[in-house]
Amino acid sequence: MPTAIYPGTFDPVTNGHLDIIQRATSIFDTVVVAVAEDSGKDTLFSLEERLEILREVTSSLKGVYVESFSGLLIKYVKKKGADAIVRGLRAVSDFEYEMQMAMMNKKMAEDIETVFFFTSTEYSFLSSSVVKQVASLGGCVKGLVPSYVEKKLKEKYNFLK
Ligand code: ADP
């Protein structure tokens, strides 16, 4: 019963993340979306908000669970008894960092594989940062994030009518 951990900041979750989660479930029986407590990034949404949003938008997906983790990812992966780490790749710019992380994790735990999914073309330009930038200026992010996230962004940026 292979289990994968999909770690990230998810500030907020986008349709690009959701696409990776859905595709990961076709290979892994269980996909744990692991929200980093201390990713080193200044986040718009608190950890609790990011968890709540992710739980809401993945509630209909079988075998998908949402949790938070802190500290070293590989320790958390081992503690969960998972088989693999899932990450998404959008562009060459993602590659260097992702490869470094994958190699480092391999060095620390040889039996854990990192599995990369290439982004779907329609989401190749999509990041949480670009979504936040557009939403903060009152732009429309429909189709880029689930409607629940759209609503949460509007609330955050006070653009609710
Ligand atoms: P992190 O801070 O760990 O990079 P993110 O939430 O930004 O957290 O991203 C988590 C993972 O999802 C990363 O592997 C990232 O490359 C991937 N990802 C983000 N956006 C997309 C997208 N549009 N398509 C595919 N993968 C994506």
Catalytic, 55? Answer: no
Say how many Å lie between the CA of residue 31 and the centre of ligand 1.
15
Among 3.10.180.10, 3.10.20.30, 3.40.50.620, 3.90.1300.10, what is the CATH number of 3-125?
Answer: 3.40.50.620
Side chain identity at 48, as an amino acid letter?
Answer: E
Residue 17 annotated as catalytic: yes
For atom 9 of ligand 1, which residue has the closest CA?
Answer: 8
Residues 47-83 pLDDT 10s: 999 999 999 999 999 999 999 999 999 999 999 999 9
Q: Which of 50, 87, 128, 132 is catalytic?
A: 128
In this prediction, residue 93 carries a pLDDT of: 83
Residue 161 has pLDDT above 50, yes or no: no
Average pLDDT along the chain: 94
Tell me which residue has its CA closest to atom 8 in ligand 1: 8
Which residue's alpha carbon is nearest to atom 15 within ligand 1?
Answer: 88
80, 90, 106, 154: the active-site residue:
90
Domains of the chain: which residue ranges? Answer: 3-125
Give 65's contacts (C-beta < 8 A, 6+ positions apart): 30, 31, 32, 33
Beta strand 84-89 with 113-118 is: parallel
Residue 118's DSSP bridge partners are 89
Give the distance (Å) from ligand 1 centre to CA of residue 98.
Answer: 10
Q: Rounded to an integer, what distance in angstroms lies between the CA atom of residue 124 and that of residue 137?
A: 22
